[in-house]
Amino acid sequence: MGEEFYCILKLVSGEEILSLIIVDENEGDPIVVLQNPVTIKTFYNHQGAHLKVKPWIEMSSDDFFMIKLDKIITMTETKDERLIEIYNSYISDDSNVDHHSETGQVKLSNKMGYISSVEDARKKLEKLFKGIKES
């Protein structure tokens, strides 16, 4: 196996993929091993440019995929720190994990819940409005 690096691949299907990859020299028939491949789309609106990141294969729970070289048009190593940061942030973020149970109900997580009660928030806002400093 070779050294792993961040790469942007263009497949014969037209898809563009960003992934951490390793090229395996499998007895003269190289295979590209992709780790957590994602697609990134750029959208523009009046607020500026936005990126949408999603898994390359959305219904799979696997992290590794293999592609033969004949399915790749081109590939280029990326050293763009911002792009790598977005990729790593997406991969490490558990918000892209499905929080629904088999019955369709949302599972509870530690990120869900109230910051304060309505009564506490009302008191804090009244003090803020009246200019009273909290101790």
Q: Which pLDDT score, from 0 to 100, does residue 40 have?
A: 87
Which pair of structure tokens corresponds to residue 108? 């509870």
| Entry field: residues in the chain | 135
**Residue percentage of the chain with pLDDT more than 90:** 32
- pLDDT grade, residue 125 (50/70/90)? confident
Q: Which pLDDT score, from 0 to 100, does residue 9 have?
A: 94
Segment 43-70 mean pLDDT? 88
Domains and CATH numbers, the chain: 5-101 (2.30.30.100)
Other CB atoms within 10 Å distance of the CB of residue 7: 20
User: Given a cut of 60, is residue 97 above it in pLDDT?
Assistant: no
Look up residue 70 and give its amino acid: D
**For residue 76, what is the DSSP state?**
E
Segment 51-79 mean pLDDT? 91
User: Given a cut of 80, is residue 84 above it in pLDDT?
Assistant: yes
- pLDDT grade, residue 21 (50/70/90)? very high
Other CB atoms within 10 Å distance of the CB of residue 52: 9
**Nearest-angstrom CA–CA distance, 21 and 61:** 18
Q: Which pLDDT score, from 0 to 100, does residue 18 have?
A: 95
Query: For the segment 102-120, what is each residue's pLDDT rounded down to a tens digit?
Result: 555 555 555 556 667 788 8
